[in-house]
Structure 1
Amino acid sequence: MPVSQKRALRAAPTRSALVAVGGLVTLALVALFLSRYGLSTLAVTHAAVRDWLGGAELYAYREPVSGAGVALPPALAILLAPLALLPLKAAGWLLALAGVAALLLATVVLAGPVARRHGRRRTPLVLAAAALALLTEPVRAALGEGRPELLLFGLVVADLVALRRARAVRAGRVRRTPCWLAERPGPLLDRLRQGWADGTWAGIGTGLAAAFAVTPLFFLAGLMVLRRRRAAVTALTTAVTVTLAGLLFAPRETVTWFGDTLWELNRTDPLTTPGNQALAGVLARLYGCPAPPVLVWLSFGAVLLAAGLFRARSALGAGDEVAAFTVIGLAAAAFGPMSTPAELIWLLPALLILADTGRPVRRGVAAAGYALLVVPVPVLLGWNVYAFALILLTGALPWRTAPAPPAPPQRVAIPVPRGG
């Protein structure tokens, strides 16, 4: 037996043991997060959807103690309706495990190219990055409160894969077709295979996320600014289709959502709560008012959003799709009226970009930023640390220049003797 095969056989039990230990530690952390945060957001959603399935109005429910109401579009309410048939803890576990899976897949997309660029093995780096991300406050809050932010994050990140494939097609590089499509002939599978290879499905993830939440709408607009018009049209078509499906199955709730509930900015919490790290929350606390001055908020927010979209376009022009999407996510979180720690998930790829740029100062900033995302939250919320991080990174996040594709080899004609 070759030496390499013997080493692989010896390493297999070790890898299996590490995977088992990692899985148990992940389950323990999820249980800790669920206990610490108490599924506060999912509890409101769970009760509201249950009342809705019983014949009450979806947006009429109010939590007895805090008075918080449900703030999710009808399409997402329909998607989460099966969870309302389960006990709250069971629904929280299912949503948390789905969020962990989405986080792991997103880490593969974001950190995988970093490992390849530095000549490292992809699996250890991806698992390490996912483990570090699991300890941060945005992930802890999303899992513990029972929020779908990680799933929305995964949907948007999925479009990065399609954009990379489309760029590879334009550059003339050949992409390998997945074996599960290549081994099954058929007209439909042929179209799926071609669509997977050339990235024509770009925009579906963003469209689904935009139909399920408000913040991903900024990514839909960003696709237009980034001149990815085909992906933008696909995203818009997907969002409209899912919204119309929601109108078909829940017409009253859809009309109420777009006509009234969507504009209740303080429906879940007051804008002045320390957990609101958006620009609107900072201004409201600064002025000591229940809501920020509208003109001041919109003026600063519009400048911040325009700067983010402009810098995202420059990052995409340099070949860094991850930085482009990250800047849009940071600007959207800063501009939105309510951005809780669970909605600051785009700070994680921003730290990855800072650590990957290769400069010691930026790596130090990334390490310090990661430490701030892990430490206890109340002190940071009182100092608006997350809000300032959003604003600073929107205007100063660097991006990585894609290496120029290698020049095709030139064929040299070798003269041969003429005649016989």
Structure 2
Amino acid sequence: MTDPMSSKITSNAAADSADSAEPARTASLAGAPMTRGKRFRRMVLEFTPAYLVSMVMLPLIIAGGKFWPYKPSTMDLQVYFYAVRAMLHGANIMEWSSPDFHLWFIYPPAAAIIMLPLAVGPFLFWELVWIAGIVIAQNVVMIRSGVPRGLPLALVSAALVIGMEPIRTTVGYAQINTFLMALVFIDLLPATPGRKRIIPPGMLIGLAAAIKLTPALFVLMLLILGKKRPAITAMITFAVLTIVGTVVQPSATISYLKSLAGGDTHTSGPLYVGNQSLLGVVLRLFGENQTNTYLGLAIAVLVAVLAAIVGAYWWKKGAHVLAIALVGLGTNLASPLSWTHHFVWILPLGIAVVYQIRRRPWPGARADHIPLPRWMTYSCAAVVLYVSACLPLALLPYASGAEKNYTALQELVANLGPLMITAILVASAVRMIRESRHPARPVEAAAPVAGS
């Protein structure tokens, strides 16, 4: 299983745009300045527990790893590591597989170019650095989502590695999912709102899309929000990196496009229960054939567009973290193959749920959450718990065609997660339509007091 890379609490429930939340958000970030030394010590505190837990657990997460000699089964990192070296030796990386696990590099050639630093240094060095990067990336997502800094963030980060399957398994495979999520969060939720940014808005989303196509769905959300400049920046970044990849690896680009068009992913088939995409759901429920494949892909495209529309709806209301999480989960549903560990977007979704339990901001937190309807809170919580527990792989038989013989109850367990996410998107769309047909009446100004 491989999928490659590294390298704004309450604003107002009736806020009409992201911009209306900016003053509250900026104010929430104001506070006593910290010295550089204190910031560094806080960062070390936030990083260390999760990193130590990750390195201790690493040989235990994926089968085949061992403590001594220390050799975890970080098979995805091995693919990236050796693919870069193969590319530098002139090989077509789309026709190459990793030496130990015989897994294919299944991402665009541009991704391999972005990973070029992997060509310098031994594999163990990059194992240590890569896992550190994953921990930093998940901490960035939590900080931008409003989790309190310092010890609370440190403890939550370590607990996530243990108890949230997509986070834990992304660490185990040394995958790229958390990196891509962090790129999106850094782009959409800047550390200091209102200030000129070194990296233009949209560029990091374009970078993420060049590594893995699915983050391009955030470009659609930006367009729906009327944020044309960031959307154009994202598209230009994506195009430039893709062109560079094509120039450097023309044969690999042709091979990649052929495999994309032909549905040959060089991985386990879409029927496999570990594939929690909508295509996988359709094939498991209705059978594996060409007609159902096209049906599943068509449904996936429609749900992806719906996710972008719903994400824009919640963003306008001020629920920025929720919006990003829903669009991210929409990318999981839309991709033909989305393994359970690709659903790292339940991390920000879970943070949005925890905010609803508190019903008040954390001290110094960002203004990126709003109170949600109870049905939304409960359904999102159910998704977080379901995905975190990875029930399909924990409870069901799989591989060797076992999915073809599932009982009705087994089918429910196998497909409940994607169906719940889809239901949340549909229910949000219904709410959006109802609000557009019955807009809230404006509050009338109070009559002036006599003599005033």
Fold agreement, TM-score > 0.5: yes
Measured after TM superposition, the shift of residue 56 of structure 1 is 2.4
Q: Residue type of the partner of 1:147?
A: Q
Query: Is 2:45–2:151's contact at 8 Å kept on the other side of the alignment?
Result: no
Q: Residue type of the partner of 1:133?
A: L
**Counting helix residues as a fraction of each chain, which structure ranks higher?**
1
Partner of 1:6: none
**RMSD of aligned residue pairs (Cα, Å):** 3.5
Measured after TM superposition, the shift of residue 133 of structure 1 is 2.6
The more displaced of 202-211 and 51-60 is 51-60
Q: 1:134 aligned to 2:161?
A: yes
Query: Is 1:301–1:335's contact at 8 Å kept on the other side of the alignment?
Result: yes
**How has the CA–CA distance of structure 1 residues 302 and 22 changed in structure 2, closer, same or farther, with 3 Å as cutoff?**
closer
Partner of 1:379: 394
Structure 2: which 5+ runs fail to align? 1-40, 67-71, 360-372, 397-412, 432-452
After superposition, the C-alpha distances for 1:129-152 in whole angstroms (9 at most, x for unaligned) are 323332311111211112111111
Partner of 2:323: 324
Partner of 2:279: 280
Q: Secondary structure at the match of 1:71?
A: coil
Decide which of 128, 133, 139 is 1:104's aligned counterpart. Answer: 139
Query: Is 2:49–2:155's contact at 8 Å kept on the other side of the alignment?
Result: no
Measured after TM superposition, the shift of residue 330 of structure 1 is 1.3
Decide which of 187, 206, 222 is 1:159's aligned counterpart. Answer: 187
Partner of 2:89: 54
- Cα distance in 2 for partners of 1:162, 1:17 equals 22
Query: Is 2:276–2:333's contact at 8 Å kept on the other side of the alignment?
Result: yes
Partner of 1:10: none
Partner of 1:315: 314
Which of the pair has more CA radius of gyration? 1
**How has the CA–CA distance of structure 1 residues 221 and 248 changed in structure 2, closer, same or farther, with 3 Å as cutoff?**
same
Partner of 1:349: 348
**How has the CA–CA distance of structure 1 residues 46 and 217 changed in structure 2, closer, same or farther, with 3 Å as cutoff?**
same
**How has the CA–CA distance of structure 1 residues 286 and 368 changed in structure 2, closer, same or farther, with 3 Å as cutoff?**
closer
**How has the CA–CA distance of structure 1 residues 296 and 254 changed in structure 2, closer, same or farther, with 3 Å as cutoff?**
closer
Structure 1: which 5+ runs fail to align? 1-12, 116-121, 170-174, 176-193, 400-420
Query: Is 1:304–1:331's contact at 8 Å kept on the other side of the alignment?
Result: yes
Query: Is 2:340–2:390's contact at 8 Å kept on the other side of the alignment?
Result: no
Measured after TM superposition, the shift of residue 45 of structure 1 is 3.7
**How has the CA–CA distance of structure 1 residues 22 and 383 changed in structure 2, closer, same or farther, with 3 Å as cutoff?**
closer
Q: Residue type of the partner of 1:156?
A: V
Query: Is 1:73–1:211's contact at 8 Å kept on the other side of the alignment?
Result: yes
- Cα distance in 2 for partners of 1:85, 1:17 equals 29
- Cα distance in 2 for partners of 1:40, 1:66 equals 7
- Cα distance in 2 for partners of 1:14, 1:158 equals 19
- Cα distance in 2 for partners of 1:48, 1:164 equals 37
Measured after TM superposition, the shift of residue 59 of structure 1 is 0.9
- Cα distance in 1 for partners of 2:85, 2:428 equals 43
Measured after TM superposition, the shift of residue 157 of structure 1 is 0.7
Partner of 1:408: none
Q: Secondary structure at the match of 1:383?
A: helix
Q: Secondary structure at the match of 2:350?
A: helix
- Cα distance in 2 for partners of 1:18, 1:284 equals 42
After TM superposition, the score normalised by the length of structure 2 is: 0.67
Partner of 1:391: 422
Partner of 2:74: 39
Partner of 1:119: none
After superposition, the C-alpha distances for 1:334-368 in whole angstroms (9 at most, x for unaligned) are 12101012211112211221221248887666665
Superposed counterparts of 1:216-231, under 5 Å: 216-231=215-230
Could you tell me the percent identity over the aligned residues? 23
- Cα distance in 2 for partners of 1:214, 1:15 equals 31
Query: Is 1:327–1:397's contact at 8 Å kept on the other side of the alignment?
Result: no
Query: Is 2:137–2:178's contact at 8 Å kept on the other side of the alignment?
Result: yes
**How has the CA–CA distance of structure 1 residues 131 and 279 changed in structure 2, closer, same or farther, with 3 Å as cutoff?**
same
Q: Residue type of the partner of 1:230?
A: R
Q: Secondary structure at the match of 1:111?
A: coil
